[in-house]
Amino acid sequence: MVLGKTKQQLLAASDKVGTLHILEVPWTLRNISHGEVSSVSSYFEREDRRQEYQETRVSFHQQNKQKLEAEEAERKMAQPPEPTTEELEAAM
């Protein structure tokens, strides 16, 4: 089978069953629109900054949690132990 020169672009894909699907790729997906490269580039830059911010926040919260846990452990060590029931009864 010989296909003539067409501007049609096709995509062939199959599923698990083995059915072959032939899809036409639309013109808008084949060609870059005006400003698309800069839009996509700025999107990835924003995502990089967002990810860095998220990592900074996670790190901050982990450090803060460790600090609070250390302070709590120190406070528990500084407090005298609570008297047991026997000690309370003996004091009465």
pTM for the model stands at: 0.50
CA dist., res. 25 & res. 9, Å (int): 6
Q: Supply 5's token pair.
A: 């020169």
Per-residue pLDDT band for 1 (boundaries 50, 70, 90) equals very low
CA dist., res. 61 & res. 68, Å (int): 10
CA dist., res. 65 & res. 71, Å (int): 10
State phi, psi for 43 to the nearest 5 degrees.
-60, -45
| pLDDT per position as a tens digit, 39-86 | 999 999 999 999 999 999 999 999 999 999 999 988 888 777 777 888
Q: What is the pLDDT of residue 86?
A: 82
